[in-house]
Structure 1
């Protein structure tokens, strides 16, 4: 976050390569010019993959690990991390004020957000990013290949000049994304891999609805699965059908849900199958709707070829 970048010592020894991942470490920052009563002016959340593992806000001034990470000893020096987040908070809010001054936006409430992080695949760095938004619009992003900050908004030209006034800062930002962030992620994985590698298979239900004078709609709902990657589609006679997908959403308990619908003629009584692929399943699954309104779950070995 702006010029406050940790120089982490490379404490990790040679790592044993495993066909695992991807794993990601992502920080999300939000600053508000006029927060509502009780809402912090600045908040930061760190994520391992899609799981929040610590929070920080300007009201408490402290980093607090959450979820299973609150029970882990030695993963991080939380007092030192609190000091780092406090320093980032101060510079983050200065940047927000600079943007507001540029646009003379003293009235109303304005939001500045930043997101940056890195990814490991098979224990090797496989990607990194660093970008900001002002009032929900792209503002500036870092291109580590040049390396340089790329303005995406007129006011961001001033921000770029300010951040790059210290020539070493651009190189430090590049080093953070390519070296320090992956190193930190590897260290966190020593404490977190078993939790991040959990695989919860989906529970699947199928419903059918027919409105008077309309086609029949089959809906296949998969829920309580983790990780979030899943493939859902409808098949009939071994052919994939055009269907409407509901996307993938958090389920409120650390797992995910998704659904897919297909519309068929109301009088059609041919078998239709919802095909599901997920890493929590030992093999792909096909679920058929029957006329007794019971979903029959069968593996591909016991159903028509998919």
Structure 2
């Protein structure tokens, strides 16, 4: 009765208090990882909770503690972290039992297969639910094995949907154990309830609008080609638009950097353009972000580096 037990643990996380929330969407994500042969620094089981894109707690089997992260370290009353630690320890034990069962499904009498499947293996689980205007929006539950989709839950049918041939064994076992209705109830009712409660303590962090700061640098490379780089940093939320212009016209971009979440909970990104060394501009980097009433425009001229900070 492995999966029903895991579900019963998920159902008891968090107090039952609710409060109206608006707008969004807001999401609650639980991401768990199990490793069959843990090494130093890589515990056998760890789990992280996210509100939208922000990690608000982390647990691992080495410490045995679920601890709040980021600004949630200062929040009182959102969770009883000692109780969460107990739940996550129990979940981790059963999660690793599931991993062992999946590994057994892949064992084969063929020598090569036996050798492959006695190595180190990982299983990951991602459970997500979303709210918009205080109403359930969507949810999903996906399990991967060794980096490949293994089995997922379909709330519409409802049923567990195998993504690999061997996952049929898991489907039969879990559905025989009676997990289908509990998984559906958790995704569509309990997870949103928990998210509503967390939002009482978290909307200040999740709804904030931090304007980007922008800096420009230049570097001359082979062939007397100059690379202009525009870096936007310390902004939140993540969506941002960046591009170069010259004489009022957009310039073809060389490279865009990924929009990356930093450890401090803010984002940064960059965009570059390549121009002949003889071209002295002027060039402008334009940054559009939800925190800005109008795009932030930063000038570059030959021989100078520029910086600017937006105001919300």
Give me the TM-score of the superposition, normalised by structure 1.
0.87
Matched residue of 2:3: which SS? coil
Residue by residue over 1:210-267, the C-alpha shift from the partner in whole angstroms, topping out at 9 and shown as x without a partner, is 2242432211111122222211112233333331101112333222211101122332
What are the within-5 Å matches in structure 2 for residues 1-306 of structure 1? 2-3=3-4, 4-5=6-7, 6-7=10-11, 11-12=17-18, 15=20, 18=22, 20-37=23-40, 39-104=42-107, 107-167=118-178, 169-243=179-253, 244-295=255-306
- For 1:304, the equivalent position in structure 2 comes to none
**Distance change (3 Å), C-alpha of 1:241 and 1:151:** farther
The answer as to whether partners of 2:129 and 2:187 remain within 8 angstroms in 1 is: yes
Matched residues in 1 for 2:243 and 2:234: separation?
A: 18
Return closer, same or farther for 1:157/1:239 CA change in 2, 3 Å cut-off. Answer: farther
Does the 8 Å contact 1:2/1:88 carry over to 2?
no
Give the helix-richer structure, 1 or 2: 2
Conserved? CA contact 1:289–1:296, under 8 Å: no
98-107 or 189-198: bigger deviation: 98-107
Say if 2:213 and 2:308, in contact at 8 Å, map to a contact too. Answer: no
The alignment yields a C-alpha RMSD, in angstroms, of: 2.3
Greater relative contact order (CA < 8 Å, ≥ 6 in sequence): 2
2:149–2:163 CA contact under 8 A, matched in 1: yes
Question: Structure 1 residues 102 and 263 mapped into 2: Cα distance closer, same or farther (>3 Å)?
Answer: same
* Alignment-derived partner of residue 302 in structure 1: none
> Counterparts of 1:296 and 1:57 in 2: how far apart (Å)?
41
Q: Which moved more, 1:99-108 or 1:272-281?
A: 99-108
CA distance in 2, matches of 1:268, 1:39: 51
What stretches of structure 1 of length at least 5 have no aligned partner?
300-306
Mapped to 1, the partners of 2:166 and 2:309 lie a distance apart of 58
| Structure 1 residues 274 and 164: alpha-carbon distance in aligned structure 2, compared to 1, 3 A threshold | same
d(CA) in 1 for partners of 2:41, 2:305 = 49
Aligned length: 295
Gaps of 5+ in 2: 108-115
